[in-house]
Structure 1
Amino acid sequence: MDDHADAPDLDGADLDLPFSLDALARWMDRESLGDGPITEPALLAGGTQNILLHFRRGDRGFVMRHPPRHKRPRSDQTMEREARVLAAIADSGVPHPAFIASCSDHDVLGSSFYLMEPVEGYNPGAEGLPEHFTEADVRTMGFEMVDAIATLSHVDYQAVGLEGFGRPDGWVERQVDRWKSQLDGYSDIAEYPGPDVGDVEAVTAWLRADQPTDFQPGVLHGDCHFLNVLYQPNSPRLAALLDWELSTVADPLLDLGQLLSQWPIDGAVNIGLARPGWPTPDEVIDRYATQTDRDMSSIQWFRVLACYRLGIILEGSNARGHAGQMPRDVAESLHQAAVGLFTKAEQLIA
C-alpha cells in the first residue's frame, strides 16, 4: 500500500475523517483488538461511496469501512449489512476479505462501521493488468470472476444465517418500480436538473413486459466488476470480491448481468482493460451455466436490469454532486457511466 502516513494521526484531521482515531482505538481496546496507538492510517482508493481506511495497531493490519461524511439515509444500515454478509460467507469458498468485528453503537464514532482483514493484491480496474500477462492469463482472470459469483450463487442463505437479509418473495416483480422510484426521488435533491441518461421510459417498459417467471433466491453480491476485486499479486487468480454494499438475498443471475454490463469486451462502461484474451460475453454466460442448475433463458432480462439498476444508482451520485455533497468531477464521471449503462440497455432491448 502506498503513501502511508509518517506518524500516528490520532484525531484523523490530516485525512479529513469524520471521526476520531483515538475514539476508534478506545473501542478496539474494549473489543480486545490489539493494543497501543493506531499507526499508519491511510485512505484506500475506491472509496467514492464510503470511507475505506487501512491502519495498523501493533503488528496487525486492519481495514475499516465507514459511511461518508455526508451520510445517505441508509448508510448505517449498509455498514451493518456488509458486516453481516461477510461474517456469514466465511466458510463458503467465495474469495472475500475476512470479517473481524463491527459496531452499530453510534456513541462510539457517530456511525456504524466494521473492520476486516487486509487483502494483499492488485485492483485491475484501478491499476490495469500486469504487463507480462499472456492471453491465457487474461482469459483466466475473466473466468476467475465468473467462478466467484457462481460459487456465491450456491451459498444457502438460510443455512449461513442470512434469513431476513433480503425479501425474496416478489423480488422480480418489485425491481422496476423500486429503481424507477429511486430515480424519480432524485428530483427532490437541491440543484439537480433531473436525469439525462437516455430513454429511461423505453427500458422501463421493456423490463416490465419481459420479466422472468422462474426465480431461485440466493446470495447476491450486487456490484461485481473489476473495480471491486483484488487479484493475487502478479497472478491471474482472484484474491477477493470487495464492496458488499449492495449485497442481498435475490436472484444471483443479476450478478452475472452486472459483471457483463462492465465487461472489458462489449461492456457499457469503458474500464480500460482492453487486452487480447478476455472471454466473450457468450463464453462468460456458458461458463456460468456449467456451474448452475438455474434457468438461464432469462439472462437478457438480467443484463438489462443490471444496466438499469446500476445506471440509476450512479445517477444518484450525480444528483448529490449537484447539491455539493460529492466532488463535482467524481459526480460527472459517474454520470457518464450511467449514460453508458442506459445506452447498453437500449442496445440489448433493440
Structure 2
Amino acid sequence: MTEIDFGAVTRWMDSAGLPGGPVEDVQPIGGGTQNVMLRFRRGGSNYVLRRGPRHLRPHSNDALRREIRVLESLSRTEVPCPQIVAACKDEQVLGGAVFYLMKPVDGFNATVALPDLHASDAAVRHAMGYSAVDALAALHAVDHERVGLGDLGRPEGFLTRQVARWLGELESYKRHDGYPGSELPAVAEIADWLEARVPTSWTPGIVHGDFHLANLMFAQDSPAVAAIVDWEMCTIGDPLLDLGWLLATWPDSENPSPAAAHVLGAAGGLPAPAELIERYTARSTRDLTAIDWYTVLACFKLGIVLEGTHARACAGKADKATGDLLHRAAVGLLQRAEAIIAGARTCWATQST
C-alpha cells in the first residue's frame, strides 16, 4: 500500500514523545512528481509525512534537511507555510531517507481541482492570483538574517552563476543510461541572451526556488493562500527569480505551455501577467525593470529541471509517462523564453526608431 516502513516511523515517533497507538487511515497525497507524501492518523492526531523520492537522488536528503530548516525558521513569520511537528534528519531511521511530519494544511491544490466557491466565481479566481503574489511578497519581505537563514545560500554572484550552473546540470543528465541527450530548443541562444544582460544591482533575500500555482495550497472558503509548499529548492539569492518563475508558469492563452496546463488555468479569470507585476510592485520596493530577464531565466532553469525527470525516466528511474509530459513542458518553457526575448527585441527596436 505504501513505500514507508511505518514500524520504523512509529518507533521514532515514540522516541520523540508523540502520541502512540496504531497507524490509521494511511493515504498517499498526489499532485507532485518527486517526493513521497502520505497522510495518516495516530493517537488522535493527523499527520503528513514527507520524504524524498522513491529513488533517492544524490542530494535528496540534503534538500529535505534544507526544507526542514526553512520551515522551522519561517514558522515565526507571517509567511503561510506548513507547520512541522517533528523532523528526522537521521538517514538510518527510514531506510536512508530523511523525513518529517507536519500538520495537514486545511486547503486544496488549485491545479488539481476547485471547490464550488472557486470554480463558480471568476472574481474569486482573480483574487487567488493576487493572493499568490501577496504570499510571495510576504516571503520576500522577511529578513533572512533575523530568522537565522543568513548562511543558507551564497548571494554573492548568485545571478552570474545561474546560466553556467544550469548548463552544467543539463550536461550531467548524460550520465543516465538510455537518455539520448537534450533536445530542448535554443538552449545556447537563450543562455547567451541571459549572460549578456545580467542585472548588476539587487537586494538579497529568501528565494523559494519553485514558486508556481501547483506549489500553493488555497483556503477552502476564500481566495487566500493557506500555505506555500515544497521548499527544497529554497536559498538566499535574488527573490525576483521567484516572481519570474510565477510569470514563466502562469497560464497564458496566447502562449500556452504544458507547464501551465491545469484546472485553475482552464477555468480562467486569473489576473494577466501585467496585473501580477503591478500587484507585486505595490507590495515591494524591489526594482522590476528587468523582470523579463528574470522570467526568461526562470523558463531556462525550470525547463532544465524538468528535463532531469525525463532523463531519469529514460533510465527507468522515473515514470515514463511523467518523464514524457515534463519533457514537453520543458520544451514549452524554452519556447516561452524565446517569445519573451523576441518581444523584448521588438520593444527595443520600436523605442530606437
TM-score (norm 2): 0.92
- Root-mean-square deviation (Å): 1.4
1:316 to 308, 314, 319: 308
Deviations 1:176-223 (A, max 9, x none): 000110001111211100111211011010010011001211111111
> Is residue 202 from structure 1 mapped to residue 192 from structure 2 by the alignment?
no
Deviations 1:209-251 (A, max 9, x none): 0110012111111111121111111432211111112111111
The gaps in structure 1 that reach 5 residues or longer are 1-13
Q: Does the 8 Å CA contact 2:245/2:295 hold for their aligned counterparts?
A: yes
CA–CA distance in structure 2, aligned partners of residues 147 and 267 of structure 1: 25
Corresponding letter in the other structure for 2:174? S
The gaps in structure 2 that reach 5 residues or longer are 343-353
Match of 1:161 in 2: 148
Match of 2:19 in 1: 34
Match of 1:298 in 2: 290
Match of 2:333 in 1: 341
CA–CA distance in structure 2, aligned partners of residues 165 and 279 of structure 1: 33
Match of 2:231 in 1: 244
> Is residue 270 from structure 1 mapped to residue 260 from structure 2 by the alignment?
yes
Q: Does the 8 Å CA contact 1:258/1:303 hold for their aligned counterparts?
A: yes
With over 3 angstroms needed to count, the CA separation of the structure-2 counterparts of 1:132 and 1:185, relative to structure 1, is: closer
Match of 1:260 in 2: 247
Higher share of residues assigned helix: 2
Instruction: Please report how far the alpha carbon of residue 132 of structure 1 lies from its aligned counterpart in structure 2 after TM superposition.
Output: 4.8
Match of 2:351 in 1: none
> Is residue 84 from structure 1 mapped to residue 69 from structure 2 by the alignment?
yes
With over 3 angstroms needed to count, the CA separation of the structure-2 counterparts of 1:267 and 1:296, relative to structure 1, is: farther
1:60 to 45, 48, 67: 45
Instruction: Please report how far the alpha carbon of residue 264 of structure 1 lies from its aligned counterpart in structure 2 after TM superposition.
Output: 2.0
Secondary structure of residue in 1 paired with 2:223: coil
Deviations 1:121-163 (A, max 9, x none): 2111111463653221111000000000010001111110112
Once the two structures are aligned, what percentage of the paired residues are identical? 43
CA–CA distance in structure 2, aligned partners of residues 200 and 307 of structure 1: 11
> Is residue 220 from structure 1 mapped to residue 212 from structure 2 by the alignment?
no
Instruction: Please report how far the alpha carbon of residue 100 of structure 1 lies from its aligned counterpart in structure 2 after TM superposition.
Output: 1.6
Secondary structure of residue in 2 paired with 1:125: coil
Deviations 1:9-64 (A, max 9, x none): xxxxx22x1x4101100001111111112211111012311101111111111111
Match of 1:119 in 2: 105
Instruction: Please report how far the alpha carbon of residue 91 of structure 1 lies from its aligned counterpart in structure 2 after TM superposition.
Output: 2.4
> Is residue 141 from structure 1 mapped to residue 128 from structure 2 by the alignment?
yes
With over 3 angstroms needed to count, the CA separation of the structure-2 counterparts of 1:132 and 1:186, relative to structure 1, is: closer
TM-score (norm 1): 0.93
Secondary structure of residue in 2 paired with 1:108: coil
Q: Does the 8 Å CA contact 2:119/2:267 hold for their aligned counterparts?
A: no
Secondary structure of residue in 2 paired with 1:114: strand
Aligned pair count? 335
